[in-house]
Amino acid sequence: MAVTRRNILTNADVRAQYARGVNLLKREFTGPTTSSLGIPGPSRQVSTYDLFVVWHHTAMSTMTPPSQGDRNAAHRGPVFFPWHRFMLIQLELNLQRVLEDETFGLPYWDWAADGARTPSQQRQSALWRATAVGGTGSPVRTGPFRFIADDPDSFRIRVEADADGRLIQSNRGLRRDLGVSISTLPNRADTAGALALRPYDQANWDTTSAGFRNRAEGWAAPDAPALHNRVHVWVGGDMLPSSSPNDPVFYLNHCNEDRLWEAWMARHTRTYVPAQSAPASLRGHRINDQMLAFLSAPMRPADVLDARSIYAYDSLAV
C-alpha cells in the first residue's frame, strides 16, 4: 500500500514522527565502522543515519564517467532526480522500520510557500521553531536536533566533508546560517517557471543544459531562478558541503524537489532522457544505467519513474 508524504509545515504529527525517526537512526549501529569505510582516525561505528551521509558524499565524489564533464553519480546531469528519489525511498523504508510504522511517509518542506514572504518572515517560518526542526546557529541549540555539550546522545555531526572534499570524523553540533549567504528562498513563480520547461533534460546534459532538470537542480543561467541549490545555500551551515544530509532539512528539501518532479511528470508525461542508446559518455545517467548504491541493491532511473505504488503526495500544487 502506498504511503502519503505530507507537508511538514502543516502537519504536527509528521513533524514529531520525522524527528523521532531521525534520532533513532542516529543512535542505531549495525556494523560499519569508520575504518571499514576508509575514513581516517580511530575506528568507530557509524550510525545508520550517517551511512546516508557517506552515501551522498560518495555519489558526489564519483564522476560519471571519470574522464569527462562535471557530472557525478547524483548531480549535474539527468540522474539528479532519479538518484535522489532512490535515496529518499531507502531512508523512508528505514524510518518506517525504526518507527515500527509502515504507514509513515517522508514529509516535504514547501519552501516556495515560505519564499513568498519577506526575508525576515522566511527566517521565522514555523519550520525553524523548537517544535519543528529547530533554528539557526553554530551549533543549533533548539529543537529535536539541538546540541547539548554534556549529553553524548544529543544530535551530533560525526562524519563530515572537510575543505578538501574528504570525509573526516567530527564530534560537534549541527550548524545552520538561515538567510545569511542568500536572503530569499525560491517562490511560487520560480517553481511555476521550472514546471513549464520542456524537455526533461537535453545536451549538454550538464550544468549548462536547458530544460526542467537543470533549472530545478539550480544550475540555471544567472537570469533564471535556481531552486534546489538556492535552498541549500539559504539554509547554509551543514547544508553546504557534500555531507549535507547531516542536516535533516536535506531530506525535506529533496522530498519537495521530488514532489516538483512528480508534478512535472503529471503535466508532461512520465518520461526520462537520455535513452540507453545514448553515448557511453553519458554512462550513469541513461535510463537503464544502475545508479550508485550503498545501503541496498542498485536501481535504475527506469525503476523509479513511477513510484505511485510506494508513495503519493498529499498535494502536487507547487
More confident residue, 152 or 115: 115
Evaluate whether 291 touches 73 at the Cβ level (below 8 Å).
Answer: yes
pLDDT value of position 225: 72
Q: Which helix (H) or strand (E) holds 172?
A: strand 167-172
| Whether the predicted pLDDT of 259 surpasses 90 | yes
Q: What is the pLDDT of residue 220?
A: 72
Q: Are strands 311-313 and 29-33 parallel, antiparallel or unpaired?
A: unpaired
- Confidence at 1, pLDDT banded by 50, 70, 90: confident
* Mean pLDDT, rounded, for 22-50: 97
Per-residue confidence (pLDDT) for residue 190, from 0 to 100: 94
Global confidence as pTM: 0.97
Written as nine digits, the cell of 47 is 550510525
Q: What percent of the chain has pLDDT over 70?
A: 98
What gap in Å lies between CA 170 and CA 185, rounded to an integer? 30
Residue-wise pLDDT for 198-249, tens only, equals 999 999 999 999 999 999 999 876 566 789 999 999 999 999 999 999 999 9
Strand 157-161 versus strand 29-33 pairing type: unpaired
State the chain's mean pLDDT as an integer. Answer: 96
Confidence of residue 68 (pLDDT cuts 50, 70, 90): low
Question: CA 139 → CA 158, 204, 231, 237, distances in Å?
Answer: 14, 40, 19, 9
Determine contact, residues 53/246, Cβ cutoff 8 Å: yes
When computed from its CA atoms, the radius of gyration of the chain, rounded to whole angstroms, is 19
pLDDT at residue number 269: 94
Query: Looking at this protein, which amino acid is placed at residue 240?
Result: L
157-161 and 167-172 strand pairing: antiparallel
pLDDT confidence of 171, banded at 50, 70, 90? very high
104: pLDDT strictly greater than 80: yes
Lowest mean pLDDT among 91-95, 149-153, 192-196, 211-215: 149-153
CA distance 139 to 215: 32
Instruction: Pinpoint the alpha helices (H) of 5-109.
Output: 12-26, 48-61, 80-99
The whole-number average pLDDT for the span 163-190 is: 96
Q: Mean of the pLDDT values across residues 281-305?
A: 97
Predicted confidence at residue 67, as pLDDT, reads: 63
Q: Is the dihedral of CA 269, 270, 274, 277 positive or negative?
A: negative
Confidence of residue 15 (pLDDT cuts 50, 70, 90): very high
Query: What's the distance, CA 107 to chain centroid?
Result: 12
Is 298 in contact with 292 (CB distance < 8 Å)? yes
Quote the pLDDT of residue 229: 96
3-class secondary structure, 155: coil
Beta carbons of 301 and 80 less than 8 angstroms apart: no
Give the whole-angstrom CA distance, residue 261 versus residue 87: 15
Q: Give me the domains of the chain, ranges plus CATH numbers.
A: 3-149+176-305 (1.10.1280.10)
